Amino acid sequence: MGRGTKKSAAVRRTSQAARGNARSAPVAKAGPKKGAGEGAISGMTAQKKTTQRQGFKVNEFIVYPAHGVGQILAIEEQEVAGAKLELFVINFIKDKMTLRVPTAKIVSVGMRKLAEAPLVKRALETLKGRARIKRTMWSRRAQEYEAKINSGDIVAIAEVVRDLYRSETQPEQSYSERQLYEAALDRLSREIAAVQRVTETEAIKEIEAALAKGPRRGPKPAEAADEAASGDEAAEDEAA
């Protein structure tokens, strides 16, 4: 075999070996960086939590329809059935009660921020209006009043206070009327106190001053009879 033939055979063997090495060499696949992926997931979780919280923060005073004004003490997590649940820890000082509300449920339960000054002014103006008492059974009216009180709507609560208010010249309230009046007055005064940053006593004085400016100073004879009948109905309901 000639020198040229040996040389070409060596070149072929070298070329084949190079191709084999190229085929057997592992190819590095580009994958997502762990840090970037974790950061994206963390960002999405934080955004979801922020959305669920609806802008509510720790130490903020809020209105929970069924209980009135409360304060958010903390935001904590609990594991329920293997899933993490974020909760608002709300304290109702006057009722000596602490409530834990899932952040994802605050819209469905009607939890809201304190009313702004213009809405408080509207509620106070409502107190100055004439009472609107439906000519229906007391039991039905009592249910409507209770629904308004638990609605969390400050203007609706002011309507209950206005309708159940009695001046010194008017017939006395029955026990059930008095209870509803005091419940509505309590809810209204606590929110006004929290918004205006005054004591509840000062808020009640402001409410009573607005009520005193109302058009009803004493009932007309027909109204007095209707109100007396209303009181009798309420007494009968209580006795039953």
Domains of the chain: 54-113 (2.40.10.170), 117-239 (1.20.58.1290)
Please state the pTM of the whole predicted model.
0.70
Report the percent of the chain where pLDDT is more than 70: 68
Strand partners, 76: 87
pLDDT value of residue 47:
59
Q: pLDDT category, 25, cuts 50, 70, 90? A: very low
> What's the mean per-residue pLDDT of the chain?
80
Q: pLDDT category, 82, cuts 50, 70, 90? A: confident
In one letter, which amino acid is 206?
E
Q: pLDDT category, 216, cuts 50, 70, 90? A: low
The set of residues, in sequence order, having a beta carbon less than 8 Å from that of 215 and lying 6+ positions away, is 129, 130
pLDDT value of residue 11:
46
The set of residues, in sequence order, having a beta carbon less than 8 Å from that of 107 and lying 6+ positions away, is 54
Q: For tokens 């000082």, what's the residue?
A: 93
Flag the least confident range among 146-160, 180-194, 224-238: 224-238
Cα-based torsion angle of the residue sequence 206, 207, 212, 213 in order, rounded to the nearest 10 degrees: 80
Give the mean pLDDT of 130-157: 94
* Res 85 pLDDT > 50: yes
* Res 113 pLDDT > 80: yes
- Residue 31 is classified by DSSP as -
Give the mean pLDDT of 177-205: 97
DSSP 188-239: HHHHHHHHHT--HHHHHHHHHHHHHTSS-SS--HHHHHHHHHHHHHHHHHHH
Q: Which tokens sit at 17?
A: 């070996």
Q: pLDDT category, 211, cuts 50, 70, 90? A: very high
In 3D, which of 88, 114, 97, 103 has the Cα closest to residue 195? 114
